[in-house]
Structure 1
Amino acid sequence: MMNLKTFFSRALLALSLLAGAASANPVYHVALDTTGTSGDGYMQIDFLPFATSDVLTATISGLDGAFTGTPSLDNVVQSGGSYTFSSDAFSEFFQSITLGGKFGFDVMFGGVPTDGGSIGLSVSLLDSVGDYLSFQAAQISLVAGEPAAIAVDPGFATVNPVPEPEDWLIVATGLVLLGAMQRRRA
């Protein structure tokens, strides 16, 4: 009887961990550092499909930095402080900024291509006349069944995954269940 209880406890733990991992859409924090520059400039964020017919989304939120004016949006929907891009057409966020400081935002993707293609979100920085300071300072590409491909210009950008509260809850639940199993075993 004890072996059956142990089996079901471990099966429940494994299923809860798998369910949490399968349902999670990772969030990435993009940080841009323009402290080596000065003057007016622009931030350009593009979201593009590559050889996929799947319609997917990317949502950026938590924009932080010296933004000026109103962003120019192509195939991007603004809702509150969030901007949602769609891969069914060219999607671009173009914003004037004051160079010389730090900028950041979080991005979450609404799925990955299922037909063998990919999608990519890229962030570029431009000077006041529209010349690139860093073309694709940060880029995140997604392909089904593969980890995200992240490329950065180390002089300007970093991209890091953000742990979600659900991830911490799953880990805590797993640790509590493991502790309970060890205590019961003793």
Structure 2
Amino acid sequence: MLLRLMLALTLSLGAASAALAGPIYRVAVDTAALAGQGGYVDFLFLGLGSAAPTRAMLSGFAGDFGAASVFEGEAAGSLAGGVTLGNGTGWNEFAQAASFGGLFEFFVSFDAGTVGDGTNLGIALLDQDFNYLGANADIVTFALQPGQADAISVNSGFATVQAVPEPGTALQVLTGLLLMGLVLRHGRR
């Protein structure tokens, strides 16, 4: 009976944590076509109408980033420690200087509200004057709508986006399998 209770608890906690935690995305941006040019990798986070408070967390930055950063609205942090963007009213933007020509990578995750209108995160390559560079629009867009899966648009000429499994998920699966094996073994006696 104790083993069954532990199994049920493990499965319940796993489902609850999966429901609370949003996915983590690995974004890779190939700027080989822009070799020799400088500018910014830009992140713009805007809430629609009555969007619930939502945060975008950016981390794990890799690539030929420069020292200059631009923060506007609900944006704070650093390349080393991560950047957080809020979706409050107004312009919420983080732009990091970059020397293009190579690969840029970073992780994106969201702490999204569950009611109200949605929120969009647009990622773009910009020149020194903050005009689009290489593409005439964002290279990646995350559209977040409460109660729905994240909608992701990608300009495949520049970027790829992959969901990253969370380390806790593998541990939960292994624990559940172990407990199920113990229940089956105990039931055979």
**TM-score interval, normalised by the smaller of the two chains:** 0.7 to 0.9
Q: Per the alignment, do residues 83 and 185 of structure 1 end up closer, same or farther by CA in structure 2, a change over 3 Å counting?
A: same
Q: CA separation of 1:9/1:128 partners in 2, compared to 1, >3 Å: closer, same or farther?
A: closer
Distance 1:9 1:153, change over 3 A: same
Pair 1:114 & 2:115 matched:
yes
Aligned-partner SS, 1:54: coil
SS of aligned partner of 1:133: coil
Are the counterparts in 1 of residues 23 and 110 from structure 2 also a CA contact under 8 Å?
yes
Aligned pairs, number = 182
Shift of 1:101: 0.3
Q: Give 5+ residue unaligned stretches, structure 1.
A: none
Structure 1 residue 87: Cα displacement: 0.7
The match for 2:159 is 157
User: TM-score, normalized by length of structure 2?
Assistant: 0.85
Work out whether residues 53 and 112 of structure 2, in 8 Å CA contact, stay in contact via their aligned partners in 1: no
2: CA distance, partners of 1:64 / 1:6: 45
CA distance in 1, matches of 2:133, 2:121: 17
- Which amino acid letter does the alignment assign opposite residue 33 of structure 1? D
1:133 equivalent in structure 2:
134
For the Cα contact (< 8 Å) 1:17–1:174, is it kept in 2? no
- 1:24-35 paired onto structure 2 within 5 Å: 24-35=21-32
TM-score where L is the length of structure 1: 0.87
Q: CA deviation at 1:178?
A: 1.7
- The residue aligned with 2:41 is 43
> Structure 2: how far apart are the matches of 1:6 and 1:43?
51
Instruction: Give the structure 2 partner of residue 83 of structure 1.
Output: 83
Which amino acid in structure 2 is aligned with residue 77 of structure 1?
A
Identity of aligned residues (%): 32
Q: 1:53 to 1:127 in 2, by over 3 A?
A: closer
Once superposed, what is the RMSD of the aligned Cα atoms?
2.1
Q: Which has the higher strand share?
A: 1
